[in-house]
Amino acid sequence: MAMDFPYARSVVVVRSRRTEKRSGKTTEEVRYYISSLEPEELTPKQWHQLIRGHWAGVENRNHWRRDALMGEDRSRSRNRSLLSNLALIRNGLLRILNRCFPGQSLPVIREQIQAKPSLAFRALEA
């Protein structure tokens, strides 16, 4: 199989089957992952753990913070430029807050800034 990913060494196929308890309806889904690892470097169980761990980390470290703390999913705009620019601003803000308030959770940081707004300006100056 030819791919336009120069460092790709493996394609992992994950097939999932779900049965809805209420209706008893079963659905199947196939997902593909590309990796720079050789296929034999990991067992099927290790591949599964790697994929699950990656997506759990993405959800916990990125999507949840951007949505729950910054309301990203509440946007109703379909303007791609606007959404891309807002995502860049949110990413930059997360980096600044992590650098200026090391080891503190974002809800705690937000409470501190709400109680003392001048902290936000200090963070931008740093």
Q: Which pair of tokens denotes residue 65?
A: 């913070």
The mean pLDDT value of the chain amounts to: 89
pLDDT in tens, 58-116: 777 777 788 877 888 888 999 999 999 998 999 888 889 889 999 898 889 989 999 99
pLDDT band at 12 (very low <50, low <70, confident <90, very high): very high
Q: Which pair of tokens denotes residue 38?
A: 């050789």
- What confidence score (pLDDT) does residue 1 get? 57
Location of structure tokens 């992992």: 12
For the chain, how many residues are written?
126
Sketch the domain layout of the chain as residue ranges.
1-38, 42-125
- What confidence score (pLDDT) does residue 114 get? 93
CA distance 110 to 122: 14
Is residue 75 within 8 Å of 86, Cβ to Cβ?
yes
- What confidence score (pLDDT) does residue 2 get? 62
Give this prediction's pTM: 0.53
CA distance 94 to 29: 33
Is residue 33 within 8 Å of 49, Cβ to Cβ?
no
Q: Which pair of tokens denotes residue 43?
A: 């067992």
How many angstroms separate the most distant Cα atoms in the chain? Answer: 58
pLDDT band at 49 (very low <50, low <70, confident <90, very high): very high
Of all residues in the chain, the percent with pLDDT exceeding 70 is: 98
